[in-house]
A and B are shown apart, each in its own frame.
Chain A
């Protein structure tokens, strides 16, 4: 199981800014290990962020997204204390969802 995401969601002047750091190797499938074997690709393919159950951003990613991916975006609305959830799915079918309260 992957480590939890670090999520910061802050509301200011009617807009909520969300910043997320995910914990994931984001292996490209191009690298080789010390023994010379190719390390299989292992990367997040889909991200879905929801505010009070309503989607506020969806993303599809390739292996080009850096290890321990960062994502930042803003949406209108949101209030201090509201739940902001982020879910990712990777190419092996693993998934993880974390929540943060809007500050």
Chain B
């Protein structure tokens, strides 16, 4: 096992964390809420297996974006590493078993900031 592989494995420990608190610890600690961070997630998910989730940071020198789904067994879902020249804005699609907060944690100038959005996962089946 090379040093690089060992580092990669250590970095993945956050994905095993079973609580939001532990997941946050793994990405570096408790973030400060910031209105410069936006979580993009639907109010109501059309399909819990494919929920479009993204995040944008307007903070200078943003180097990391982490997406966490609070109520999933393992909240930390995806981490993005942003080199200089790449915009601090990413989008993907995540699985959610139930209604939950979605949290974006960003690292900018070495400090952590976050924003939260609630996505409802519903049984559906009514309408006008």
A–B contact (CB under 8 angstroms): yes
The answer for the CA separation of A57 and B12 in the assembled complex, in Å, is 17
The interface residues of chain B, by DSSP majority, are classed as strand
The answer to whether B78 and A60 have CB atoms under 8 Å apart is: yes
The answer to whether A64 and B74 have CB atoms under 8 Å apart is: yes
Total number of A residues with any Cβ neighbor in B under 8 Å: 27
The answer for the CA separation of A45 and B15 in the assembled complex, in Å, is 10
With beta carbons under 8 angstroms apart, the residue of B49, B51, B72, B83 that contacts A55 is B83
**CB-based nearest B residue for A72:** B91
The answer to whether B91 and A66 have CB atoms under 8 Å apart is: no
With beta carbons under 8 angstroms apart, the residue of A55, A57, A64, A74 that contacts B94 is A64
Interface residues of B (CB under 8 A from A): 8, 11-12, 15, 49-52, 54, 69, 72-74, 76-83, 85-87, 89-95
The answer to whether B95 and A64 have CB atoms under 8 Å apart is: yes
The answer for the CA separation of A71 and B81 in the assembled complex, in Å, is 13
The answer to whether B83 and A56 have CB atoms under 8 Å apart is: yes
The answer for the CA separation of A77 and B85 in the assembled complex, in Å, is 8
Q: A55-B83, A56-B85, A75-B86 are in contact. Are A62 and B77 (CB under 8 A)?
A: yes
Interface residues of A (CB under 8 A from B): 15, 28, 30, 45-46, 55-67, 69-77
The answer to whether B69 and A64 have CB atoms under 8 Å apart is: yes
Residues in chain B near residue A62, CB distance under 8 A? 15, 74, 76-78
**CB-based nearest A residue for B91:** A72
Cross-chain pairs A/B with CB under 8 angstroms, 25 sampled:
A55-B83, A56-B83, A56-B85, A57-B80, A57-B82, A57-B90, A58-B83, A60-B78, A62-B74, A62-B76, A64-B69, A64-B74, A64-B78, A64-B95, A65-B92, A66-B49, A66-B50, A66-B95, A67-B50, A69-B93, A72-B54, A73-B87, A73-B89, A75-B86, A76-B86
The answer to whether B92 and A60 have CB atoms under 8 Å apart is: no
Task: Report the minimum CB–CB distance from B73 to chain A (whole Å).
Answer: 8
